[in-house]
Amino acid sequence: MSIKPIQYRDGICRMIDQRLLPTEEVWLDYTDYQGIAEAIRTMVVRGAPAIGVAAAFGAYFGARDIYADDFEAFYSQFEEVCAVLAATRPTAVNLFWALDRMKAYVLASKDYPVSDIKTTLEFEAMAIADEDVRINMAMGRKGAELMPAKGTILTHCNAGALATGGYGTALGVIRAAVEAGKEISVYADETRPFNQGSRLTAWELQRDKIPVTLICDNMAGYLMSKGEIDGVIVGADRIAANGDVANKIGTYTVAILAKEHGIPFYVAAPVSTIDLNIADGSHIPIEERDAREVTHTGEKQMAPDDIAVRNPAFDVTPSRLVTAIITEHGVVQGDYQQGLKAAVEKVR
Ligand code: MRU
């Protein structure tokens, strides 16, 4: 069983503190929306679908704690709760998707007593969490067909169980391929500066006994040139209508390397990651994070005092570099504009 990083029971949302992995496995309990917002902002929980799941529980907690019997008063305070949760991180669209779904649910229930709406919102958040795992497994089955019978796949960042409700997107595809009997081994990019690859992907695959070898980000080109990488698979934080993919910083570099070496570059993402309101990747908001992530490794300073630093947390890979986008509703290839729209419409 892959890890379930967000576990909800009896009014408590328990999340594994991803900042402490792989050396410490600490679970933190959350019971209010402010705590969940802080957990997302500080990366206790991270990864696009996982952020969406956490935000859904945050929205429920916020709704539950509103003292108002009148729907209008309740809804205006609920919108404030959602605004606090939405302000935590800007790039992963799953955050906004989950909050929009919770808001739509509330609006559709406006003729019911507020107390009933609060109760059923709990089920809606739980449904978002459960559906995410099912979606990842469906995506895994579709993506597994694209994996070689035997080969080595490079991944960047962590798009695994830890980044989702469970099972994973990119790592879900790898997991499904292994479950189907394919002999897959993984190269995990360390993914500087936050090291999601070395800390999280390496930990999760090793735990699940899927062969994994850790490399520094700057080693991928060399290994591709030696013929040691048969394919690349990554997740996504937001996919624009034309198929441009925002994902962890460094993904674009890997995509260019893959193109140069004639290696397929796959993206695995649920339909909730597709943002048809964004025409192309240039409009995707890119989070800039604290300079300390670049200047320090843990507590150790690795750069001179007062050095100028840039720390964009994501980049955009143009769709022309993407071999296929794997969703729970099928594999989109070629005409992304049309294919992504069709995948989104299957959900509506
Ligand atoms: O900053 P993070 O760790 O939240 O970034 C995560 C990624 O970039 C993942 O690759 C992406 O969210 C896909 S997760 C299934």
Residue with tokens 């600490």: 26
Which atom of ligand 1 lies closest to the CA of 157? 10
pLDDT tens-digit map of 143-189:
999 999 999 999 999 999 999 999 999 999 999 999 999 999 999 99
pTM of structure: 0.97
Centre of ligand 1 to C-alpha 128, Å, is 18
Band of residue 339 on the pLDDT scale cut at 50, 70, 90:
very high
Where b means 16+ CB within 10 Å and e means fewer, 13-37 reads bebbbbeebeeeeeeeebeebebbb
Cα–Cα–Cα angle for 234, 149, 245, rounded to 5 degrees: 15
For 6-137, which CATH superfamily applies? Answer: translation initiation factor eif-2b, domain 1 (1.20.120.420)
Q: What's the 3-state SS for 206-245?
A: HHCCCCEEEECHHHHHHHHHCCCCCEEEECCCEEECCCCE
* pLDDT reading at 191 higher than 90: yes
Residues with CB under 6 A from ligand 1: 46-49, 92, 157, 159, 163-164, 169, 196, 234-237, 247-248, 313
- What pLDDT score was predicted for residue 1? 84
> CATH 1.20.120.420 region(s) of the chain?
6-137
> CATH 3.40.50.10470 region(s) of the chain?
140-345
- What pLDDT score was predicted for residue 144? 98
Give the mean model confidence (pLDDT) for residues 253-266.
98
Centre of ligand 1 to C-alpha 156, Å, is 9
* pLDDT reading at 347 higher than 80: no
Give the mean model confidence (pLDDT) for residues 84-90.
98
Residues in Cβ contact with 340 at an 8 Å cutoff, skipping those fewer than 6 apart = 239, 241, 243, 274, 276, 325, 332
Residue among 171, 196, 271 to mutate when testing ligand 1 (max atoms within 8 A of CB): 196
**Which of 3.40.50.10470, 3.40.1120.10, 3.40.718.10, 3.20.20.10 is the CATH number of 140-345?**
3.40.50.10470
Residue of minimum CA distance from atom 8 in ligand 1: 248
Instruction: Just list the catalytic residues.
Output: 237
